[in-house]
Each structure stands twice: as structure tokens, then as C-alpha cells.
Amino acid sequence: MNLYRGCSHNCVYCDGRAEGYYVEGEFGKDVAVKINAVEILARELDPDRKRSPFKQSFIMAGGGVGDSYQPAEEKYQLSRKTLELLYKYNFAVHVLTKSTLIMRDMDILKDINKQRKAVISFSFSSVDNRISSIFEPGVPPPDERLKTLALFKKQGFTCGMFLLPVIPFVTDTKGLIEQAVKCGAEIGVDFIIFGGMTLKQGRQQEYFFNTLKSHYPEQLSGYRSIYPGDKWGQATTAYYSRINRTFSRIADRYKIPKRMPLSVFKDILSENDLVIVLLEHIDYFLKLQGGSSPLGYAAYSISKLKEPLLEIKEKLLQIKGVGRSTEAIILEILETGSSAYYRKLAAGGGQ
Ligand code: SF4
């Protein structure tokens, strides 16, 4: 949910600044507050107003173009009121933030966690306070984020670290990735999601390069070689593969899952969603090992289906992207709620 449009955290790399997201005003200063979001959500979630019940799943409070706990939340409390509604209607939640303001809502989050499930994740581009002060000027420094995450962990929450995005040639080094993973391991985080940065041409790139020029001018030329200027701001596959492999080796050494573990979500998701997520995870693990995989495409096709997979078990091969081996994996998930192949890959095993 994007309860706010725009974000005064003003991270230098934020792609919410890119033209394609249509955030009006000056990004980092102007923030649109969706003051009727809670009212609309209350109507959407009310089972008495629906012909078929709203699908049960995790609701993710943490937006792509605005942190749900940015300073405006102190006054408007949209995240708090949303959590109260989600508690009322028995939803599980996953909150992703960079702000320690989430501490204010520990009480309602505890209620949700007891009743259903609340996952708390913090994002980092590194755990280096000095670098963070350059690239994340509006958020609490990493050590405060880590302390807050540790408090949630002690209170029995499932906790995640999003080491995302790492900043090319600044925080994507083996040393800084390991430092972050080590901090996560010390807290006992349940998983770390890792990823590289996108850099879209236009506002996002201009703003980012201005800061880079002031603090790391020697790195500019490297950026030109890894960002070919594609529409989505993606870096080259070779670059992403390199940093993914570095992270993967470190995470394996610290025995930290690279995806949210199945035990966290298996009782929350519908059968179709469980299949989609596990296929996505297998796809991710295979690509981490340098292989290719059709499973991401199969997961996408299944996400478009209206029927429960259990009702079309005989016709799985008609789904785009599903071949014999994928069919076998899907049937196993439907029958057992898991997959031996998934467990092997998640444990760091090969194909
Ligand atoms: S906290 Fe997230 S949404 Fe806000 S500026 Fe930073 S990256 Fe963008």
C-alpha cells in the first residue's frame, strides 16, 4: 500500500523520483497524503459488502514511492489506522520501512502478530552510518534501524532485512555486504532480501549523479558502463549476477535465508499463491546459481488464473510456461504444501 505519494526521506537513489511514477511536486519535499485511504480500505475489507470474501494474504504496508512511516505519519497516522483495520479483519501484515517511528505501533503490531502474523522488515543500502548520511539524508542512521529491528525480534516478530538497493561501487563491496549480513545475523533476522539498484534516465539519474559527483566523482565512469540506459533503469545482467553471487556466498556462510522462509507464510497464503511464491523462489535460487529457469514465467501465468489450481489439476500443462517438471512441482506443492526441490535449493543445494 502506498499511503503517501512522495517521500520526505529523500533517499538519493529512490526511483520514486523517476518520471514514470508520476509523483507530482518536488520529490523529497512534497508529499501527497491519501487522507481517505483508511475510509476506502474499511469499505473494501468489510465482508458484509462483498459477494465473495476478500482473499486472505499478507497485506504489505510499505510503499514503492513513499515510506509508510515517513514524518507525515506522525501527524496523519494512516499506517496506524490501517493496521487497526487489518487487525479487525484478521489479516497478516508485512511492514517494510526505514523509519524507527514504527516503534509507536508496536502494540497493534503485537496484536496482529498474536492473532495472525506480522513481519517487520527494515531496508538498508549498507549499515555504514557515514555513507547512509550521504545517500539517505532523511532517515535514522543504520545503527538505529538495527536497534529497532532487534527490539522487534526480541518481541517475537519475524524480522527481515532488505539489503536493497546496494549502491554500485559504493556499498556493493564484499566488505560492506558482509558487514550488513553480519549485523543481520547478530540480531537473528529470519531472512535477508538482497538486490541491486535501478537507475532510470531523467530525474532519478540526474539527482543521483549530482550527489555521486560531489562525494564519489571517481565512480561516475563505472556507472556509464553498467547502466546501458534501458527503459527500466536496469544495470547489466553481468553486474547483477556478480553482486548476487557475492551476497549469496556470504549469506550461505552466515546461514541466513535469502528469501522469506516457507514456515512464515505457508499457513497464510491460498494454494494458488503458495504455488506462485514457491515457484518464484525456486526461479530465484536457480538464477542465483547462474542457471536459467522457466518457473518465473509459469508463476506469472498462474497469477493470472481465476480458478483454484486444485480444480484444474488435470490441465496444468495447458498453463503457459508449465512443462512436465514444473507440473510435478506444482502437484507436490498442492498435495504437501511444500516441494523437495524448493527445500534443497533453499538449503543451498545445487540443481
Ligand atoms: S524511504 Fe523508500 S520511498 Fe522513501 S525516499 Fe527512501 S527509498 Fe524512496
CATH of the domain at 306: 1.10.150.110
Question: Are 137 and 281 found together in one domain?
Answer: no
Among residues 211, 242, 262, the one where a domain terminates is 262
For ligand 1, whether the C-beta of 68 sits within 6 Å is no
Among residues 241, 262, 283, the one where a domain terminates is 262
CATH, residue 187: 3.80.30.30
At residue 231, does pLDDT exceed 80? Answer: yes
At residue 351, does pLDDT exceed 70? Answer: no
- 79 pLDDT band, cuts 50/70/90, is very high
The atom number, within ligand 1, closest to the CA of 27 reads 5
CA dist 323 → 308, 313, 320 (Å): 19, 13, 8
For ligand 1, whether the C-beta of 101 sits within 6 Å is no
CA torsion 193-27-73-64 (nearest 10°) is -30
Among residues 262, 295, 330, the one where a domain terminates is 262
Judge whether 351 lies within some domain: no
Residue 61 pLDDT: 85
Q: Are strands 92-97 and 118-124 parallel, antiparallel or unpaired?
A: parallel
Most informative mutation of 3, 7, 27, 204 for ligand 1 (most atoms within 8 A of CB) = 7
Residue 6 pLDDT: 95
Distance 64 CA to ligand 1 centre (A): 7
Question: Are 175 and 228 found together in one domain?
Answer: yes
Question: Are 278 and 327 found together in one domain?
Answer: yes
Residue 285 pLDDT: 94
Question: Are 164 and 98 found together in one domain?
Answer: yes
Indicate the DSSP class of residue 289.
T
Cell of 187: 540480531
At residue 54, does pLDDT exceed 80? Answer: no
Question: Are 38 and 107 found together in one domain?
Answer: yes
- 129 pLDDT band, cuts 50/70/90, is very high
At residue 350, does pLDDT exceed 70? Answer: no
For ligand 1, whether the C-beta of 117 sits within 6 Å is no
- 291 pLDDT band, cuts 50/70/90, is confident
For ligand 1, whether the C-beta of 5 sits within 6 Å is no
Q: Whose CA is closest to atom 6 on ligand 1?
A: 11
At residue 189, does pLDDT exceed 80? Answer: yes
Query: Percentage of residues in the chain with pLDDT exceeding 90?
Result: 87
Residue 148: CB atoms within 10 A of its CB come to 21
Angle at which helices 271-288 and 324-336 pack, to 10 degrees?
Answer: 130
Question: Are 116 and 28 found together in one domain?
Answer: yes
Query: Percentage of residues in the chain with pLDDT exceeding 70?
Result: 99
Judge whether 254 lies within some domain: yes
Reported as half-sphere exposure (CB side, CA atoms, 13 A), residue 34 has a value of 21
Distance 330 CA to ligand 1 centre (A): 36
Q: Rounded to the nearest 5°, which phi and psi values hold at 338? A: -155, -175
Contacting residues for 227 by C-beta, under 8 A, at least 6 apart: 199, 205, 233, 234, 235, 236
Residue 335 lies in domain: 270-346
Amino acid at 187: I
Distance 96 CA to ligand 1 centre (A): 11
At residue 180, does pLDDT exceed 70? Answer: yes
